[in-house]
Amino acid sequence: MPLVDWFLRHSVTMWLLLQSFVLMTFCFHSATTFPKGCYHAEEDGYKTFRCSNAQLTEVPKDIPNDTNKLYLDFNQIAFLPIDAFRNLPVLLELDLSHNAIVRIESGAFRGLSEHLHSLDLSSNKLVSVNKDVFSNLKAKVNLSSNPWLCDCRLQELIRTVDLVAGSSGSIVCDSSAKEEHVGKPFLQVVTDMDFCSVYKKTTDIAMLVTMFGWFAMVISYLVYYVRQNQEDARRHLEYLKSLPSKQRKSEESSTISTVV
Ligand SMILES: *[C@@H]1O[C@H](CO)[C@@H](O)[C@H](O)[C@H]1NC(C)=O
Ligand SMILES: *[C@@H]1O[C@H](CO)[C@@H](O)[C@H](O)[C@H]1NC(C)=O
């Protein structure tokens, strides 16, 4: 039985081979739980997680919770949902530049308010962002090179956000209610006009018009009511007048008759 013999002689080797194969697949599997194209390193004492240029379409899950610097630049991330960066309590720097971000949900940066000191959102596709997105954030933010709509919302946003030094000139109006603003830096445009006061003025005028409308309605109703009552009162008065006058007439006629 040469075959059985061969098996017996090689069983130990086979067993070892099988075991190492199982171990290898295990290791490989745990390595691939990191998103493809991402790697973890220690740079100048900071735990750094780099996923630059990794064809990501969303913020990866399973980012190590001790990450200090997170690079997600040059990807195709389009949307930042609420709690996109939860469980990163010691994150200092977040680079989201050169993506395709069009929308940021309020609460997307929740949990980063304590430590984050740098947030790069430059070179994305942001048109309009609610200022609440950045509430409580202490980080310096780069908002340059986005197709901004210059309006009251952007004015409020820029009033709220702590812009990174030297980046404000690159926040340029891509669209605006006024054609002449297009292509100009927002901070230059806003020295000549207050987007929010224009907005407030129109709402004030609308409010005045509605208030005047109501007032006119109330007045006309009052006038109508008074007129109607006057008419009724007059008729009633005439009726009342007519009563004693008949009596008087009958009395008169009776006196006349007696005189006659
Ligand atoms: C990361 O998570 C582990 C396990 O949940 C926890 O023990 C550790 O304190 C966390 N680290 C930080 C920096 O929060
Ligand atoms: C802000 O972003 C722009 C565009 O990506 C970049 O050129 C600039 O250096 C950034 N500014 C700072 C201060 O990081």
Same domain, 111 and 209: no
- Confirm whether 241 is domain-assigned: no
Tokens 């064809």, located at residue:
55
Residues 6+ positions from 77 with CB-CB distance below 8 Å: 56, 57, 58, 59, 96, 99, 100, 101
pTM above 0.85, yes or no: no
CA angle 62, 64, 69 (to 5 degrees): 120
Give the distance (Å) from ligand 2 centre to CA of residue 98: 11
Give the distance (Å) from ligand 1 centre to CA of residue 48: 16
Q: What is the pLDDT of residues 124-168, one digit of tens each?
A: 999 999 999 998 899 999 999 999 999 999 999 999 999 999 999
Q: What is the mean pLDDT of residues 45-49?
A: 95
Does the CA dihedral 221-224-229-230 come out positive or negative?
Answer: positive
- Confirm whether 21 is domain-assigned: no
Stronger pLDDT, 19 or 70, i.e. the higher one: 70
Confidence band for 31, pLDDT divided at 50, 70 and 90: very low
> What domain count does the chain have?
2
Domain range for 181: 32-193
Residue 47 structure tokens: 């735990």
Ligand 2, residue 170: give the atom nearest the CA. 3
Decide whether any atom of ligand 2 lies within 6 Å of the 52 Cβ.
no
- Confirm whether 229 is domain-assigned: yes
What pLDDT score does 36 carry? 76
Confidence band for 59, pLDDT divided at 50, 70 and 90: very high
- Confirm whether 80 is domain-assigned: yes
Q: What is the mean pLDDT of residues 91-99?
A: 98
- Confirm whether 65 is domain-assigned: yes
Same domain, 198 and 129: no
